[in-house]
Structure formats: C-alpha cells, structure tokens
Structure 1
Amino acid sequence: MRRRTVPVAVTAAVTAAVTVAPAAVTAAGTTAALTPAPATHAYARPDPRGAVAALRSRFVPRHGVRFREKVATRYFSDGRRIGMDRYRLRGAYRFGRSGVVASRTIHRTDPRDVPRAVRDTDPAIRLILLRGAMYLGARGLMASRPRRVTWVRLDDPGLLSVQTINVLEPATLRGLLATARRAEPGGEIGGAPTTVYRGTITARRLYAVSRTYRVMTGDRPRGPAGRLAIDWSLWQDAERNTRRLAVSFAEMNPWARGWDRLAAITTSTATFRGWGSRVRVKAPPARSVIDLDDPAMAAQPMPAPPRLSVPGLERFMR
C-alpha cells in the first residue's frame, strides 16, 4: 500500500498545530513580518571549533542524549496579550557515526492551557522520527483499541528533530556560535559548571547553516522574514557538552506601528542530560501501526501533531 508522503516543511502532519497566531489574531488579517536583527558591532567571538569537535566525539552508535523542553508563545493584538500557547517536550536522540539517526519525543500541552473538564483526557502525543519514516502515536486513537497506543505511519522527508535550533548538528552548532556576542560563567547545571554563550542569529543565516531548519520551513526566508532576529543562549560544560539552550523571537505585523505591530513572542528552553548514555529508538510494533492512507483511518481522528516553535510558519495556514 502506498504511504502518504509528508510534504516539505512537514506541513501536512507536523505543522498542522504549529505555534501560529490564534483565530483572534489571524481574523484581524495579521501576516507576521519579523523583527529585524539589530546592527552588529565588533567583538571577539568564541571559537566554535572546540564545541564542534566535542560534539562529533559524542557520535557513538547506539548512544545519545536525553532532553526536555518548554515552549511558550504569547499572542498580542493592539499591544495587549490576547492568549498564550504552552507545551512541553521530552525525549531522546540516538546517534550514529555521523550524527543523529533517530529520535523519540513525547509532547504534552501545558496542563494550565487545558480546560479542567478535559484535563484528564488530554492525551500525550508521541513522535518517533527515523530515516525514511515518521510515526505519530496517541492512546485511544482507534475505537477498537481504546486503551492502547496506536501509531500512524507517514513517510518522512528527513526530519530527525523538532527543535527550532538543532545544536546536535555540527554545522548548526558552528554557525550558531559564530554569531555569539559574549561568553560568561553560566553557573551549575546538573552539578556541572557551565559557560553561557549569548548571541543573535537571523532566520536567513539559520536557514543557510541548519538542515533541520530548512526541512521544517521549506522556503528560504526572504525580506523581513529573512531578517528575523532569533536570540539565543547556549550553556556548555567543561567538556563542551550542551546542557541548556534558550531561544526567543518576536513576530510583527508589517502594516502596524508602535506596540500595535507586535503579534507574537515565542520562547523556549531545552535542557540536555545523559550525554553518552545508551539510547534506544525503534519503530513501533507492526500490530500497533496503521498507515495514514489505510481505509480504517477515514473514520478516525488524526492525532494532533507536535507543534513546531518555528517563526513564520503561519504562511502555511492561509
């Protein structure tokens, strides 16, 4: 049976619930333009070569790293906040000799954003990304299996991470650190002293260096979209293992002025632990998998896919 292919930018399955302005914002006709990056000044950038070499040394088959992430998007209209969208991710990345080869993630909407009446029934969404296939899993998806997790299988264009900035890609890590403005002591994380690097990267530059970002967004960002400023802070320990990554960006209405321009602010914080630990990621059991094009899916709800905290993706929802 022919499987349905996930289109570029994963718009059919993963971006259906991306962090975009809600109806209250889109109904007003807002098309997010993006915050231009501030002018740069001369400064001494940290040398990224040590961090990239350390990352490559971690690429040992069947090993990897675990992560947790919190993402929040605040929506605005006429300068006032009109809503908030929050969710949490946790999972693990599995390495091969050249980088990440698989990942598994559990996505949950923040309980504070779920109505109390349905809070106990709000299911976690599971995501398994392998080379060549993507699996979305949810409990009770099939009426015949109300207490079991059913997995929907889709072809995958090569996405192995759903994080805005994938610092597990050597090219992305190198490109990110090349935009660092400063480095300073970052305190202890997980008992390890860290150094925090801070900087700003434009969407255009991130698109150029990051394969993950290109797959998630599809089209090359141009004009105001390419000048979007993504602020970041990266904490690394003495062995140059990434311990934490914080990202933030603001999206604007191009036709408005002053505070009326602000449409949304997205922030995310990811923590990494268990570097070098054994990580197992594999396809779900065949008996629990159903293809998206299977006739049995016609009468079943599609599980709400994990959201992507990627700027500008509202253009896919027009």
Structure 2
Amino acid sequence: MHFTSVSKTNPSYGIKTRSYGDLQFGRSQVAASSIISTIDYGVSTRVTEDVAELLGLEPDKLTGPTHTITIKDTSYISGGLTDILLPPGKTWLKSKGFGTQAGLGGSAINVLSPRELKLLLADVDVKKAGGVVDGVPTTVYSGSNLFRTDLLGFKVSFKVNWKLWIGNSDGLIRRIASNENILMRDPEGKVKPFRLQLSSDTYLTNWGKQVWIYAPDERLVEDLTTSLTLPSEVLGSIDLGD
C-alpha cells in the first residue's frame, strides 16, 4: 500500500512536513514501512540554512529528505541530520526498540491497528457520505478524544479530532485527517498557557498491491549505540564566530 501525507503545526511559521512511502502488511497489522519525509521550513528556510552554516553543515542536512525504513522494532534512517552521526562509508543509522513501530507515523491515532480502529469506530460522533476518494465512494466517520493529566506541576489537556474516509464497498481506509490540540496550563497562573496544534492529512492508495520492504545492506549500516557522539571533524568545524 502507498500513502502520501502532509503535517503541520500551529503556530506553524509556515513549516510543513511532507511524507510519502509504502507499507507492507503482515497477517493483521503493518509489518514494515518505508517513508521519505521532507520538511518545508517556509519563511524560516533562510534561518535554517544559516543554522546549518553555523554548524559547518551543508544546507540539505537540515532541509533535505530523510528516508526511514522500519521492520518490526528496528528502524534504519538515512539523510538529513542523521548523516553527521555516520562514519565514512556508512549511509544508514540503525536503532532498535525505543518504542519503534512500523506504520504511518505523524498522528496520535493508529488506524492501521485493528484494535485501535475498532475502538475509534465504536465512539463515532458523526457518520455521513464522504464523497469519492481515490475513485471509491466513501463514508466519513468523525469523532474526538480528550485526555487530561498532570505533568511537572502543569495541567495538560490533549484533544484529538479525527476523520476517517472508508470505502463503502471494500471497507478500506482511503483518507485519514487528524487535529491534535495540546494545552499546558499553570494552575497558579504564574506562567502563560502554552498551546500547540498538530494536524495531518493522509491519503492511502494501491490497496492490495504487493509490497516488500527490506533492511539496507548491513555493510552500509551503523548502529546508534556506537554513534551517540558527534564525530570530531564535525565538532571542529562548528564556527561560533569571533
């Protein structure tokens, strides 16, 4: 299956993340994913390039695409800032665990999990005709979830509004849109409330198309556990000015 996705934050400063890639399914869930992501910094592009120059990096280390392959609980990342952690001859950084899971990413809801999808559809607020998506008539389901907790003395609320477009004839998800609102508030009123909004819009296509995703050649892979510090040549190239 193939997908394309656009994510953004608010306040956004014009920054958007665009992703596309493929998903390989196992018996009941996503077994592997291959995702290419690019950050569009909008009006902040020039500032981002200046930061790269300050660090002695090529601009594409911050503005170029990043390729992530995830197989079960292991991820391989290439491109972007990852490159500064790699020794000569290596092009992929490997990490294992750390909550790694193959899938779409970029959203608080995991609709490709049968269990989570079932829970979402059991708590739908609105159900109506969703029009034609990817050539298929759909029904759009929408709902919301609210979570509250305490964190470091702050009251935190996290609200997710979501919509799913599901094919009428095949029951397959064709589009996912989510809007996540985070509010951190000081109960004593000494600190100004902090608000952040995350949104994403994802289209899923080529359902039924066979996809095989493989790990990179081990000869090109560096393990994260051996690359937790910046190479000396990178540290030495940072220009802090006069």
On whether the aligned pair clears a TM of 0.5, the verdict is yes
Q: CA deviation at 1:222?
A: 5.8
The within-5 A match list for 1:218-233 is 225=156, 228-233=158-163
1:109 has 2:53 as partner: no
CA distance in 1, matches of 2:136, 2:34: 26
Instruction: Name whichever of 65-74 and 195-204 sits farther off.
Output: 195-204
The within-5 A match list for 1:50-65 is 65=1
Structure 2 match to 1:188: 132
The 3 A distance-change label for structure 1 pair 228 and 299 is same
The within-5 A match list for 1:123-162 is 123-138=64-79, 141=83, 142=86, 144=88, 150-156=91-97, 157-161=99-103, 162=105
Structure 1 match to 2:179: 248
Q: CA deviation at 1:182?
A: 1.3
Which has the larger share of strand? 2
CA distance in 2, matches of 1:236, 1:109: 29
Instruction: Say if 2:94 and 2:222, in contact at 8 Å, map to a contact too.
Output: yes
One-letter code of the match for 1:133? T
Structure 2 match to 1:311: none
The 3 A distance-change label for structure 1 pair 154 and 86 is same
CA RMSD of aligned residues (A): 3.0
The 3 A distance-change label for structure 1 pair 200 and 99 is same
Instruction: Say if 2:78 and 2:93, in contact at 8 Å, map to a contact too.
Output: yes
Q: CA deviation at 1:144?
A: 3.6
The 3 A distance-change label for structure 1 pair 295 and 108 is closer
Q: CA deviation at 1:114?
A: 5.6
CA distance in 1, matches of 2:17, 2:138: 26
1:199 has 2:129 as partner: no
Structure 2 match to 1:74: 10
Instruction: Say if 2:73 and 2:100, in contact at 8 Å, map to a contact too.
Output: yes
* Count of aligned pairs: 209
Higher RCO (C-alpha 8 Å, min separation 6): 1
Q: What per-residue deviation string (whole Å, max 9, x for no partner) do you get for residues 220-279 of structure 1?
A: x56854x5221011101121110111111222241388xx64622211111101111111
Structure 2 match to 1:306: none
Instruction: Say if 2:24 and 2:213, in contact at 8 Å, map to a contact too.
Output: yes
> Under a length normalisation based on structure 2, what TM-score does the superposition of the two structures give?
0.75
The 3 A distance-change label for structure 1 pair 222 and 274 is farther
